[in-house]
Amino acid sequence: MSPATSPPPQLRRITRSSLARFAYQSDATSSAQGNATTPQITDIEDAISGDGTTDTTTRKRKRAVVSASIKREAKSATIKKEKGAAEEEEEKSAPTPNRRARKPARKIIDPDTKTAIVAPPSDWEEMYDLVKEMRLTGPAKDAAVDTMGCERLALPTASPRDQRLHTLVALMLSSQTKDTTNAVAMRRLQTELPSHAPEAGEDVAPVGLNLENLLAVDPAKLNELIWIVGFHNNKTKYLKQTAEILRDTWGGDIPDTIAGLTSLPGVGPKMAHLCLSSAWGRTEGIGVDVHVHRITNLWGWQQPASKTPEETRLALQSWLPRDRWREINWLLVGFGQKVCLPVGRRCGECELGLRGLCKAADRGKVNQGRKVREETASLKVEQVKTDGDDEDGLVLKEEYIKREDEDVNALDMVFSEPPKEEVGVKEEDSPKQPPSKRQTRRRRGLI
């Protein structure tokens, strides 16, 4: 190609719309169209002009005409849809009328005295009464604390002074230890602690847990007797030090004040309050252990949640009536041992969860418990109806007596005499069956 020759013109891309003009049309269709503005093109090459450009004549798209009535209907449907969505949002945001508003213990102003007081949590009395009912007759009865609690481990045959010592020692051993394990260790101390050497003119000292034997025992022997409890090495030291303090400072008896009890090694506020109420019969505070601390926080009685048992004690004492300070420990410890366990809570058997009073209840377990309760109630109703209907009861009783008579007759036939052949029945058709073990035992009067 010579340089003087001009380059060929660039061809434009042929689109589907331009090719549509070359679609086949019948004679009838072409004649019906009449005069067309677009010239008749018989070949695709004719669509390309001599300068390389395509014909720019295109067809316009036909648009459907939407009537005004259709537009109004569509607009009204859109408005209704928007109104429906707004109503649904309002229903979701509105509080349900049956839902209870739970409020923790909070400070309010007394309208009469104009002073700040602590208002108790909402529904606390109902929750307290339901837990007490469960502890007495429900799923939380017969807990370990009822028979092996620290206040129940003192020997009734011991002297009052020794009983108070037993209570103090049981509380000191109970830290980080289950009640069942603590009871075993206490029983060993009460039966195996060696007696001290008698002084001149004294009789042989008895074996068992008392201050004199605790002072005289070798630490290794004491550690051997209580090795089953948690942190027994530290508790051995605490018991020996406590025995010396009781002898030198308190005249051989345990202290009768909270300050004196907390001054002993290994004794905290919880042990001090429990010991004072159990040993001396005085309640000056709430004994808060892990169960009381955990359960009251699960219920939301403290807001924000207390971090230590001591914070829980102070929070509870600010609003709980004083006549329940001693009982609440027994109540919640047994409840935590039987129903509201640290792991694997039995929410399906708890009245608080079934009645919607516990905000920490497992909803799956609660729903399952409600189904079981409904099924049990329906079975009881059916049983009452069956027992109350005279006709049905008579029929059942008659059928039972009839079946019992048939069994007795069959046994008589087997053991008394061979069965008589019935008319029209062959012996092959009704073979004789040997007696079963149950029939033999019934015949001999063993059943």
Instruction: List, in order, residues 6 or more apart from 236 with CB less than 8 Å away.
Output: 219, 222, 223, 226
The three-class DSSP label of residue 404 is: helix
pLDDT tens per residue across span 47-66 = 445 454 544 455 556 555 54
Q: What's the CA gap between 266 and 287, in Å, rounded?
A: 15
Of 111-125, 210-224, 268-282, 389-403, the range with the lowest mean pLDDT is 389-403
Contact 195, 213 (CB under 8 A): yes
Q: How far, CA to CA in Å, does 319 sit from each of 13, 110, 167?
A: 89, 13, 29
Q: Which is more confident, 72 or 142?
A: 142
pLDDT tens per residue across span 283-306 = 999 999 999 999 999 999 998 999
Q: How far, CA to CA in Å, does 93 sit from each of 88, 100, 120, 213, 401?
A: 9, 16, 28, 70, 65
Mean pLDDT of 143-170: 95
Confidence band for 19, pLDDT divided at 50, 70 and 90: low
Length of the chain as a residue count:
447
What region, left, alpha or beta, does residue 119 occupy, with left being phi > 0 and alpha being psi -120 to 50 degrees?
Answer: beta
Report pLDDT for 378.
Answer: 78
Report pLDDT for 319.
Answer: 95
The three-class DSSP label of residue 119 is: strand
pLDDT tens per residue across span 401-420 = 344 444 434 334 333 344 44
Q: What's the CA gap between 295 and 124, in Å, rounded?
A: 13
Q: Which residue has the tokens 């459907």?
A: 64
Q: Which is more confident, 447 or 346?
A: 346
* Catalytic residue ranges: 270
Question: What's the alpha-carbon Rg for the chain, to the nearest Å?
Answer: 46
pLDDT of residue 46 exceeding 60, the answer is no
Q: What is the DSSP string of 93-115?
A: HSPPTT------SEEEE-TTT--
Q: Which residue has the tokens 């058997």?
A: 349
Instruction: List, in order, residues 6 or more apart from 232 with CB less than 8 Å away.
Output: 223, 226
Confidence band for 382, pLDDT divided at 50, 70 and 90: low
Q: Tokens in use for 178? A: 């289950």
Q: Tokens in use for 148? A: 């092996």
Residue 305: CA atoms inside 13 Å, Cβ hemisphere, count?
10
